Structure 1
Amino acid sequence: MAATHSSLSVLSTDRAPLPVGPYAQAVKIGNLIFTSGCMPIDPQTNHVVSGGIEAQTKRALANLKGLLEGVGSEVGKVAKTTIFVKSMDDFATINGICAEFFGAHKAARSLVEVARLPKDVLFVIEAIAAE
């Protein structure tokens, strides 16, 4: 059985939904924070939000913000995001919401269409950020 190496710190916060599996909300090494995928789960109810891609994207981004701030970072310190989507047909909607969310900050980004996501959500985002 593996143990967490002393160079890594497992991070958690109550400002974002709990993981849906056996993994950390975020891990820190040096001054970098690596988040797990933030899903469009309402932290109050622990249920996926309804309302389609727009509502799910906004909720997942709000969860990312809560996670980052809860572990000592912020949206303006995000260096890279990876976004997983159910349909590339939602690309323009996602771009508009992300542009509003990140404002003048421009992080590197990958956006990938996948066959299926946990809980059948439409949008998941993970990030690498400075502390």
Structure 2
Amino acid sequence: MDNIDSIRNSENAPRPVGLYPHARKVGNLLFLSGVGPRKKDGKDIPGVTLNEAGEIESYDIETQCHAVFQNVRTILQDTGSDWSQLVDVTVFLTNMKADFATFNKIYAQYFSEIQPCRTTVEVNALPTPIAIELKCIALIN
């Protein structure tokens, strides 16, 4: 396997916050690194209000869900796959009790046709001040 050729990045999605690619192709699978709702350019996060210390003051999980799904779609398209090729989605929420019902409702709007496998877990925090992150696996040609 040629590691350089297997690395895939999107010019239209937010840059990773560390030393990792947006995606990596292995065989006929595309593994996406964790994707959050940040906007492409800058550190703005849709649906998040931060205080002066950079901590979350308030957030709108619905807005973040739509943004993260759009970022995943963009990365898939730009790296050789597409939304219909998703086979597995791992969801990280920072507040399962408050956000799961809203997330699940929005998720159903986006995934009713393709229904990939899904695991949803609650985490204490994510690397940036966000309330949701997705880790996805998709088929690729």
State whether structure 2 residue 54 is matched by structure 1 residue 46.
Answer: no
**Structure 1: runs of 5+ lacking an equivalent:** none
The C-alpha deviation readout for 1:47-97, integer Å capped at 9, x for no partner, is: 212251111111011000000001111111000000000011211111111
Q: TM-score, normalised by structure 2?
A: 0.85
Deviation at 1:15, TM superposition (A): 2.1
| Aligned with residue 109 of structure 2, among 100, 104, 107 | 100
Q: TM-score, normalised by structure 1?
A: 0.91
State whether structure 2 residue 14 is matched by structure 1 residue 6.
Answer: no
Distance (whole Å) between structure 1 residues aligned to residue 62 and residue 42 of structure 2 = 19
Matching residue of 2:119: 110
Q: Secondary structure at the match of 2:13?
A: coil
Deviation at 1:46, TM superposition (A): 3.4
Q: Secondary structure at the match of 1:120?
A: coil
State how 1:50-129 maps to structure 2 within 5 Å.
50=47, 51-89=59-97, 90-129=99-138
Moved more, 6-15 or 28-37: 6-15
Deviation at 1:103, TM superposition (A): 2.9
Distance (whole Å) between structure 1 residues aligned to residue 45 and residue 122 of structure 2 = 19
4+ residue runs over 3 A deviation: none
Q: Partner amino acid for 1:34?
A: F
Aligned Cα RMSD in Å? 1.4
Q: Partner amino acid for 1:22?
A: L
Distance (whole Å) between structure 2 residues aligned to residue 103 and residue 45 of structure 1 = 32
Q: Secondary structure at the match of 2:31?
A: strand
Q: Secondary structure at the match of 2:2?
A: coil
Aligned residues: 127
**Structure 2: runs of 5+ lacking an equivalent:** 48-58
Q: Secondary structure at the match of 2:11?
A: coil
Distance (whole Å) between structure 1 residues aligned to residue 71 and residue 43 of structure 2 = 12
